[in-house]
Structure formats: C-alpha cells, structure tokens
Structure 1
Amino acid sequence: MKVYSVDNFAALIGIDWADKKHDICEHPNPSEKYYYSIIKNKPEALHEWAMSLKQRYPNQKVAVVCELKKGPLIYALAKYDHLVLFTINPSIVAKYRKAFTPSGAKDDPSDALIQVEILTLHMQKLNVIEPESAAMRSLSQLVEYRRSLVQDSVNLSNKITATLKNHYPQALEWFKEKDTFIFCDFISKWPCLARVKRAKKQTLLDFFNSHNSHYAHVNEARILSIKNAMSLTDDLGVIEPNQQLIEVLIAQFKVLLKGIETLDKAIKKAYKAQGDKVIFDSLPGAGPQLAPRLLVAFGNNRNRYNDASELQKYAGIAPVIERSGKKMWTHWRYSCPTFLRQTFVEWAGFSIRYSFWAKAYYEQQKSKGKPHNSIIRSLAFKWIRIVFKCWKTNTPYDESKYLEALKRRGSPLLKFALNG
C-alpha cells in the first residue's frame, strides 16, 4: 500500500458529511490559512466542487478525509483521479474534539477542521480508500446485500414461528425448515388448522409432489398428523387476527426468499468471472456462499496489505493487548468492518468439518478449557495467515501440503490429533 505524506498534496480537505449538505474545511499546502464552505449533497454540486479543485490546483493531488468508507459521498468522489480519499474513524474525531473542547460542544465546521488537523499530523496512520475493480466492487456489494437479506429472513422467520405458535403450532412440526417455498406455499394455501383438515388426501399429496417432496413416508406422516391434529384454541378472537398476520408475513417471506435466490445467481455469475476463484474454491468449507465473501475480503489488489498481520488487524480478528503498570490483558478489537470479521469467523467455524488440522486445533483448544467463540476466532487468525500466502502467490490451498509442513516442523497439533 502506498504511503503518503503531506508534501504529496496541494491541499488537505476535511468533509463533515450530512444528509442534506457537507461542511468543508480546505487547507492549502503549505499556507496556514483555512477556508470553510458548504456544498449540497447533490451529484451536480459535488461534481462542480471537485472540478473547481482541479482548476485551482492543476496537475496536483488533493487529499480529502471523511468519516466514511463507503456510501453516496465516497461513490461520488472516487471517480476523480486528482482526489485521494482518506477515511477516519468517527470515534477518533469525537475523542480529539473532547480532548480540546472540554465543554463537549460539537459543530460541523469545527469537525471538518479536526479532520484536517488529524490528516496533517497522522496521515501515515490513516487508511486510503483505493477502489477495487468495478467487478470486484459489484461482487462486494452483492455478497453484503445477500447477508443482510438472510438476516432479514431470519428475523421474519422468528416472527412467523411466534405467530404460528399462537394458533397453528402443528405447521412448525410438519416443516423443519422454514426458509423454503414449500413451507410458504403450504401456509398461504392453508393458513389455519381448520382449513387443512378439510383438505383431501390426494390434494395434499399433489401439493407435496408439485413442490418436489417425493418421500412417501414423509408425506404420509404429515397427512396422518394433519388428520389427527387437535386445535390449540377455538377462540376466533385469537385465530382470525393471527391468521391475517401470518398471511402478511408469509407474503413478505416469499419476496425475501426470491430476492436471495436472485442475488445468489448474480453472485455466482460475478464470482465465476474472477481469476482468483480457483484459490477460494480450494478452501475447506468455503462453499458457494462463503467463497465469494472470502475473495472480496482479500480483493484483487495484492499491494493492499504488506503482510497477513495487517489484514488480521483490519478485519478485527487480531486481539488487542493492553498494559497498565504490571497488569496486561487481552480484549476484542472494537473498531473494524463487522461484515469482514463476520466472514472470517463464519468460515472458520465451517472449516472444522472439512479440514483435518482445523478440527484437531479445535479439539486441542477445547481440551484446554477454551470457550467455543475464542477458539473460532483463534482459528480464523491462523486461516488468514495461510490464505494470505496462497493469495499472494496465486496458489490454491492444498491440505496435504499443509499437513506435510506441520509434520516437518514437528507441530504438537499433529501429535495431539494422532494421539487423540
């Protein structure tokens, strides 16, 4: 990653962004003057402002710092070659303000000035926003949007479960998986027990077969359970409002499931076009959902990280060690991209089922009394170092080669696995 200094720029600019307008603090280099302005949060206004900088500082770079890593403002400014975008954590600005403004007063123009001051003094410690290729940025947003929709479907599934328990709990026993179209279509067709009990056996069989549920013993068990089911309550004051609510929730759930299917197809197509696909397909337990997310986590700019530790820290996987006097303690890294950390942690959990050494490591740490979540985070820490080397050298992961390397080093992990 390229390291910048203040001397590389004709001007340093801080932007305190907002929904309607942005407060600007502009500091021409090397003068001691600061100019304040306000621009509207509109594409035309942002373009006019960016081009005015190019005219005032011809053939020179301008450093812009903002409390954002993505979003409309970043998307709008990233297309200008003469702007170098730096990102700063909002908590840093808040603590800086608190240090020099004991009253706690907050003002947008002064926050823009604070960002310029931090950029001037600590530019080398701030992250530069270096956009990946358009294809990678598209894939990045697709996988993040998919994960968000999956979480929405989980929340909605919980509401559906709670509603069915109020008047129609048997449906939850007939279908173990709720995020399926057969479940949604069944509830839509028969939203209460009274209706489904009136259905003929052949009607039910036709329904199951039309949804590719061809296991005769499963369908027979469902039909028998339907005919023998006893209603939880006959109170229409309970049944009718819950039935109406479940119909609304199921309609929303079907839209979500179809949306996730659509994104899955788009992700599959975008991922297939990536040259590094072969590396991430080789990772144990990654699969069709996590492999694209892992590819996005690393990106295609191999100069972005100098070593694996930079990614471990950035992703929030590396623990933070604090010392005070004779005391020392380790804690969770609080500031990091949540989705990125979630990606590595989720994959590390899945890898235990598919990787011999990962499972051995998990069992080894478990035997020492370590909690599950701590073990998974430690495993993710190890995996990042391994995958980083594969990524840097354009080499697919090979479990047998890694086990051979552990054997050559006399790793106690293998001894534990063999003795266990």
Structure 2
Amino acid sequence: MMDSNYMLFVGIDWATEEHEVCVISDSCEKQDSVRIANGANGLLDISYRLSKAVHGHLDTIAIQLSSEEMIVLREMSRLDEDLAQSRNRLTNQIREQVMRFHSDLLKLSPSADEPWFWDLLEATGDSGKVKSFSLAKVRNMLAKYHVRRHEAEDVMQAAKAKRVTVAPGTTAAAMLHIKAAIAQMRVVDEQRKQIRKEITALLGKLAATETGEDKMPDVTIILSVPGIGSSVAAMLLTEASQALAELDYRALRAYSGIAPVTKRSGKRLSVMMRQACNERLRNAIYHWCRVSIQRDDISRNKYAPLRAKGHSHGRSLRTVGDSLLRLLFSMLRHRTIHDPTRRLVVA
C-alpha cells in the first residue's frame, strides 16, 4: 500500500510531441493510461480528467516534482556538456586548417586545444609575421601559460620551419577560419569556467540544505568517491536521481550502460556492450572511471589485470565502473563517506 493521504499517483513520461500519462490508485491498481499532446490543451485535458477522477479534490493526487535546485543543476550540467562538444568541434576545425599550410606546428600541440598554441597561431600564422616573432616573445608566451614541456628554441624552430607550398590565398583563408574559431573557443572556455563555478556552488548549497533523518547529505557522499568531481556528481544527481533515491543499483547499472547485454541462440552465447542507455550518464561514468584509475590504487589494480588479459580499454573501464557503483550504493545505504582503509579491508 502507498501513502493513504493520496488517492491517485500520476507518472508522466515527458517527451517532445506527446506525453505518456499513467495513473494508479493508492492500492497500486492501474486506473488510467493516456497519451496527451504537448501544449496547453493537452495539459488542460489531463488536469480535467484527474480532477473528475477525484471529484475535485486535487490535493489527493501525488505528482513527484524535482526541486528548483535540481532542475537548475540538471540544465547547467547539460549546458556544460554541450559547451564541451562545441569546444571539440572548434578544436577539430583549427587543427584541420593548420594542416593545410603548416602541419609542423601541430607537433607542439597535436590536439590544437591549448590557449598558448592559439596565441602562437595568431602570432606566426601569417608568414609575414614570423620574421618579427622573437625568442623573447616565445619565452613570455610559455611563461604566461606555464608551459614547461617545450623549450622556447624548439617552439621558435617549429614556427619558422619550411611550410607546405600552397596556392596563393590558401594561408590567408585558413588563418581567417582559425582566428574566427579561436575567438569562439575563448568564449566557450570562459562560459565553461563560469558554469563549473556555478555547478560547484549549487552542489555546496544542496549539501548544506539537505535535511532528513540521515545526517550525511547525498552530495557529500557522492563527492567523496574517488574519481568523482563536481561535473560527474551533477550528472549523477540529475540524470539518475530516481535510481539513487531508491538505491536501485540494478536500474542504474543498466541505465548507464555498465551492465552488458547477453544474447543466446541455440549453443551460441555472446556478451556485448549495452547500447540502449542514457548517453550523458554513460559519459559521466566513463570519466569517473578514467579519473579513478589514475588516482585510486584499488581501481588501478583492478583495471591493469583486465588489460593484461586482452580486454579493451572501454570494457576494462566498465568493469571498474561496476565495482565503483557497488561502492557508491553501499556508501549511500550506510550514509558514510568514502574511507580507503575500510575499502581495503573489504577488498
């Protein structure tokens, strides 16, 4: 039996064009299932049907709503991911344009995603500017961005290396594209920096305002797990809120793509990666595991033997992710933060 204060419980699968609405009673019996159009008319229709079902007593209908903070956090988390994708797109554009006329420069920054490299491109991209580019300017540029892996002489040599002979106007056209992309990249980086500050601040606010019988907030517990930072924590809290609230390990394991898919046909059996999952959640757990094997000895010691057996990087990370999910749900169940000593004893 559910909470007797309510007569009906309503679940809405929110979509772009139509919404699926399911209504069940306090005795868990299905009362209604309807598909409504997205818009004011559709919402008015379902409101009328619900009001009629409870004879106007709308306070006896339970509809679960996310808190204001969680809605804002979800949007900021998704915006951060969208900005990251925009950054990758712009980086690829810069790299492709540099390849057209001066591929040697990419030896300094193969991914072309570093701010100091953008300054170098702007200063030496046009062949006429290379002559006025001095060693002192290179040293100041490297010092400004704290770049220590390159010597000023090596950067100067790469900048003044012989370029590919191209048709007249090719370099100018490529630099026009590069400068536009760099300007956009700087805006995107500034926006991402601001969004991440706001995400961190909002997570702190959620940790301070969470109340209940359990003294330890979910945010504090999640952030204590090795490999989880503010971006991953925000993604877990917003994309997997129901699974975390219900402590449903199996649901989150499948929803995030960690659980493999087993296919059987006669004597044939195959196990493969799950494709039907939440892509945002999958990416978040991928980065969680990636950072964890770098900073957590237990995760690294679990990852290394899997790679030695010939498993791919992705499959090995998913195995590590499975163990980290079990760890997280155990911590949430017992309301404790991560303790490496206790984890070592269990392991």
- Report the TM-score, using the length of structure 1 for normalisation: 0.65
**Which of residues 258, 283, 286 in structure 2 aligns to 1:317?**
258
Is this contact kept in 2: 1:187–1:250, CA < 8 A?
no
How many residue pairs align between the two structures? 332
- How many Å separate the matches in 2 of 1:262 and 1:356? 32
Name the SS for the 1:322 alignment partner.
strand
Q: CA deviation at 1:83?
A: 6.8
- How many Å separate the matches in 2 of 1:391 and 1:11? 27
Is this contact kept in 1: 2:8–2:60, CA < 8 A?
no
Tell me: CA distance 1:394–1:16, structure 2 relative to 1, closer, same or farther (3 Å).
Answer: closer
Is this contact kept in 2: 1:314–1:337, CA < 8 A?
yes
Q: State the match for 1:229 in structure 2.
A: 161
Q: State the match for 1:353 in structure 2.
A: 294
Tell me: CA distance 1:362–1:58, structure 2 relative to 1, closer, same or farther (3 Å).
Answer: same
**Which of residues 338, 341, 345 in structure 2 aligns to 1:400?**
341
Q: CA deviation at 1:261?
A: 1.4
Q: CA deviation at 1:26?
A: 10
- 1:84-137 per-position Cα deviation (integer Å, ceiling 9, x unaligned): 5xxxxxxxxxxxxxxxxxxxxxxxxxxxxxxxxxxxxxxxxxxxxx54432223
Amino acid across the alignment from 2:344: L
Q: CA deviation at 1:54?
A: 4.5
Identical aligned pairs, as a percentage? Answer: 20
**Which of residues 180, 194, 199 in structure 2 aligns to 1:267?**
199
Q: State the match for 1:105 in structure 2.
A: none
Tell me: CA distance 1:268–1:59, structure 2 relative to 1, closer, same or farther (3 Å).
Answer: farther
Alignment of 1:68-87 (within 5 A): 82=61, 84=63
- How many Å separate the matches in 1 of 2:19 and 2:149? 67
Amino acid across the alignment from 2:235: R
Tell me: CA distance 1:164–1:153, structure 2 relative to 1, closer, same or farther (3 Å).
Answer: same
Q: State the match for 1:245 in structure 2.
A: 177
Is this contact kept in 2: 1:302–1:392, CA < 8 A?
no
**Which of residues 27, 49, 55 in structure 2 aligns to 1:53?**
49
Q: CA deviation at 1:348?
A: 1.7
Q: CA deviation at 1:176?
A: 5.7
- How many Å separate the matches in 2 of 1:212 and 1:260? 18
Q: CA deviation at 1:395?
A: 0.8
**Which of residues 290, 305, 312 in structure 1 aligns to 2:232?**
290
The alignment's C-alpha RMSD in Å is 4.1
- Report the TM-score, using the length of structure 2 for normalisation: 0.77
- In the alignment, structure 1 residue 160 sits paired with structure 2 residue 101: no
- How many Å separate the matches in 1 of 2:145 and 2:60? 54
Q: CA deviation at 1:50?
A: 4.7
- In the alignment, structure 1 residue 388 sits paired with structure 2 residue 329: yes
Q: Which runs of 5+ in 1 are unaligned?
A: 63-79, 85-129, 407-420
Is this contact kept in 2: 1:280–1:286, CA < 8 A?
yes
Name the SS for the 2:311 alignment partner.
coil
Q: State the match for 2:212 in structure 1.
A: none
Q: State the match for 2:269 in structure 1.
A: 328
Q: CA deviation at 1:387?
A: 0.8
Is this contact kept in 1: 2:292–2:299, CA < 8 A?
yes
Q: CA deviation at 1:390?
A: 0.6
Q: Which runs of 5+ in 2 are unaligned?
A: 208-217
- In the alignment, structure 1 residue 340 sits paired with structure 2 residue 281: yes
Q: State the match for 2:214 in structure 1.
A: none
Name the SS for the 2:169 alignment partner.
helix
Q: CA deviation at 1:217?
A: 7.1
Is this contact kept in 1: 2:91–2:111, CA < 8 A?
no
Tell me: CA distance 1:189–1:83, structure 2 relative to 1, closer, same or farther (3 Å).
Answer: farther
- How many Å separate the matches in 1 of 2:9 and 2:230? 46
Higher deviation after alignment, 373-382 or 293-302: 293-302
Tell me: CA distance 1:217–1:379, structure 2 relative to 1, closer, same or farther (3 Å).
Answer: closer
Q: CA deviation at 1:166?
A: 0.6
Alignment of 1:402-417 (within 5 A): 402-406=343-347
- In the alignment, structure 1 residue 279 sits paired with structure 2 residue 212: no
Tell me: CA distance 1:316–1:133, structure 2 relative to 1, closer, same or farther (3 Å).
Answer: same
- In the alignment, structure 1 residue 198 sits paired with structure 2 residue 194: no
Amino acid across the alignment from 2:118: C
Tell me: CA distance 1:259–1:402, structure 2 relative to 1, closer, same or farther (3 Å).
Answer: same
Tell me: CA distance 1:223–1:390, structure 2 relative to 1, closer, same or farther (3 Å).
Answer: same
- 1:171-206 per-position Cα deviation (integer Å, ceiling 9, x unaligned): 323446633333334434543233233334445555
- 1:345-375 per-position Cα deviation (integer Å, ceiling 9, x unaligned): 3212321222222222222223333333222
Tell me: CA distance 1:269–1:177, structure 2 relative to 1, closer, same or farther (3 Å).
Answer: farther
